[in-house]
Amino acid sequence: MSNEEKKGTCGCQGQMKQLEHNIGHVPVFFKELADTDPLMHEAVLKLDNYIWSDGSLTRKQKKLIAIGIAAAMRDDHALRAQLNGARMVGVTLDEVEEALRVSYMLAGMPSYVHGKYVAKSVFNE
């Protein structure tokens, strides 16, 4: 592969919009990755689109799973991004509450409390 190919941008403005639709918020470091490592950037975009596409599970169901995982990890940034993305695909606060109950059963009270706190904040913005 030539240096021009390695250093070129991916020309993926539309894909970045799709990523924002998929996850709700595109981190700055990922936007910069388009310039610093366009091959990695392109690979992540392809994987992201594959994962979030409707299949046996809908995007909405996948968002609820992601919210539970982010809450269990107590990853505030990921939780907020997933909650924002979930709102964009029609997830309700009641559905988030149910997903957080599952997180509670598997990851304990701290994940449930953290998830509820952040969900209320995001849904009331």
Together in a domain, 47 and 63 = no
Together in a domain, 65 and 83 = yes
Portion of the chain with pLDDT greater than 90, in percent: 55
Domains identified in the chain, total number:
2
Positive/negative CA dihedral, 56, 94, 106, 79: positive
Domain of 95, in residue numbers: 59-123
Structure confidence at residue 125 (pLDDT): 84
- Per residue in 7-66, pLDDT tens? 444 556 667 777 776 666 677 777 788 889 999 988 988 898 899 899 999 999 999 999
The CATH number of whichever domain residue 117 belongs to comes to 1.20.1290.10
Together in a domain, 119 and 63 = yes
Together in a domain, 41 and 79 = no
Together in a domain, 64 and 115 = yes
Together in a domain, 22 and 66 = no
